[in-house]
Chains A and B, each alone.
Chain A
Amino acid sequence: MAEPVVKAEGVHKSFGRLEVLKGISMAVNQGEVFVLIGPSGSGKSTLLRCINHLEEINAGRIWVDGDLIGYRQVGEKLHELRDSEIVTARAKIGMVFQHFNLFPHMTALENVALAPRTVLDRSADEARRRAAELLKRVGLADKADEYPARLSGGQQQRVAIARALAMDPKVMLFDEVTSALDPELVKDVLDVMRELAKLGMTMVVVTHEMGFAREVANQVIFMDEGVIVEQGAPEQVIRSPREERTKRFLGLVLER
């Protein structure tokens, strides 16, 4: 079998005295949708942020597309990567945030076209053409020239997805992307994600949308207090969980 796109081994992460990740190992294969569920504070968002080096890990290793994240291994020793090297690695990883984080001083189109132009050195024309294409794909062709403040939350989040896709990432990370949305706007965003999954995009998704997880995920991990409690196919983890903690959590979430 081919090398996994994302691989983590024994990942530990602490904020001061608080240990948030206590030895996480996982592998996400090409084209897989990998869903992380768990109560807030369980470390799932932190794990996502470690994958693209927004957080530095304290122990363990993470590889994306075969490259070690954050370090270069020379013999037994790890050397910190320089900023420019970290940046190159990050460009392969798309990330979508809970609060969209669109650039408010740029139009939707400029938001999508900026990074391809500055990071990938594409021409302005090409970047804009491709941005327009991507906005069309997320159903926002008519909003290209709007500033984020004039878009709904759901529309902003779809622009954010288009912005991440513009970098042609090897893997997309989704950090609770529907949590800040009004209920009626959630579906549009999930539809875009379903479409992406169908097209074979490798995705790591932190979410509370159990319906989405059951339908789209290839693998589900339930995390609690910094460890993986249960892992498997969605049918198994969500429908018939073995662990008590998983059952309790799902009971609370599915009750709504």
Chain B
Amino acid sequence: MQEEATQPGSPQRIEAVPVRHPGRWIGAAIVALIAASLIRSAIDNPNFHWDVVGNYLFDQRILNGVVKTIELTVLGMVIGVVLGVVFAVMRLSPNWLIRGSSWSYIWAFRGTPLLVQILFWNFIAALYPSIDLGIPFGPSFIHLNANDFITPFIAGMLALALNEGAYMAEIVRAGIISVEEGQTEAAKALGMTRGQTMRYIVLPQAMRVIIPPTGNETISMLKNSSLVSVIAVPELLYSAQLIYSQNFQQIPLLIVVSIWYLAMTTVLSIGQYFLERHYGRGRMRDEPMTLFEQIRSGWGARHADPDELIGRHGDQSGGGAL
């Protein structure tokens, strides 16, 4: 990228006439034409009702739905990550019973559709009318009536969290086993305990592998939380459904919903970018560019050199093979 600095005595820089690509230009023209007609129809077609979209975008009911959606996502994700770490460590246990139970959990919760799980939790009271917490086969300390305790919100959140836990377990496990054995050995040789080795050596390095898919999982979770609308939890989608069941403005309200989902996923993507940058430190020979630098160099590099891109990528993965 910084090839400008010519060394003394180096040959003159090549100034060749670039090859023309008429095929690309025709393709681009077709794409532009299609895009323009789509945009025009969005503006012209009165059925979009953009005025209605504007009216409802910040409607109190929609905003409440957004808050509920965020609550579901955050709670589902936090519980999911905790479950994931626990089940990942269990899957790596030397004890087969512990390993097997973790495997069964992942098998069951990854092998059934989320929608089915949500409905299942909603009807849990039919299966277990009361929930007792205590010593198995012994006394119970807490007695709960399932019908009162498992509200639709709790049912939806549990379904999302337990489903997420199964996926996170696999992600965390992949992260832990991606850390070279030499790292654990070096830590052991220094006299660090298993716990210290996990905390200071393995998990920080596993993070680099865990963070990107976890970001994707969070974005999926945000969108999948719309599934709990089937059990009447007033999150973003169900809030909109309640409104359009009265005014029959389905399309504008679904656009409102989509705008909110897009806004939230965009924010999450930006957060994910910074997290990845943080946990990638020390892995690359060159410090990674900031977002601003990347955008700027993106403008400049219209003719990106594929070798350069591959070289950079190779550096990232090569840094691990010490």
> Cα distance A167–B281 when bound, in Å?
26
| Chain A residue with Cβ nearest B280 | A105
- Least CB distance, A98 to chain B, in whole angstroms: 9
- Least CB distance, B255 to chain A, in whole angstroms: 44
Query: Do A118 and B192 form a contact, CB below 8 Å, given A101-B182, A104-B205, A105-B205?
Result: yes
Asked if residues A149 and B283 are in contact (CB atoms below 8 Å), the reply is yes
| Chain B residue with Cβ nearest A94 | B189
Asked if residues A104 and B196 are in contact (CB atoms below 8 Å), the reply is no
Number of inter-chain CB pairs below 8 Å: 87
> Cα distance A115–B192 when bound, in Å?
7
Judge if A90 is at the interface, Cβ distance under 8 Å: yes
> Cα distance A150–B283 when bound, in Å?
9
Asked if residues B320 and A87 are in contact (CB atoms below 8 Å), the reply is no
Provide the residues of chain B in CB contact with A103, threshold 8 Å. 183, 186-187, 200-201, 205
Asked if residues B192 and A83 are in contact (CB atoms below 8 Å), the reply is no
- Least CB distance, B136 to chain A, in whole angstroms: 29
Query: Do A150 and B189 form a contact, CB below 8 Å, given A101-B183, A101-B322, A118-B200?
Result: no
Judge if A5 is at the interface, Cβ distance under 8 Å: no
Asked if residues B281 and A147 are in contact (CB atoms below 8 Å), the reply is yes
Provide the residues of chain B in CB contact with A150, threshold 8 Å. 285
> Cα distance A102–B185 when bound, in Å?
11
Judge if B194 is at the interface, Cβ distance under 8 Å: yes
Provide the residues of chain B in CB contact with A119, threshold 8 Å. 190-192, 196
Asked if residues A167 and B193 are in contact (CB atoms below 8 Å), the reply is no
Judge if A240 is at the interface, Cβ distance under 8 Å: no
Asked if residues B319 and A104 are in contact (CB atoms below 8 Å), the reply is yes
- Least CB distance, A177 to chain B, in whole angstroms: 13
| Chain B residue with Cβ nearest A116 | B190
> Cα distance A188–B191 when bound, in Å?
27
> Nearest 6 A-B pairs (CB), nearest first?
A91-B191, A147-B282, A101-B186, A115-B190, A101-B182, A95-B189
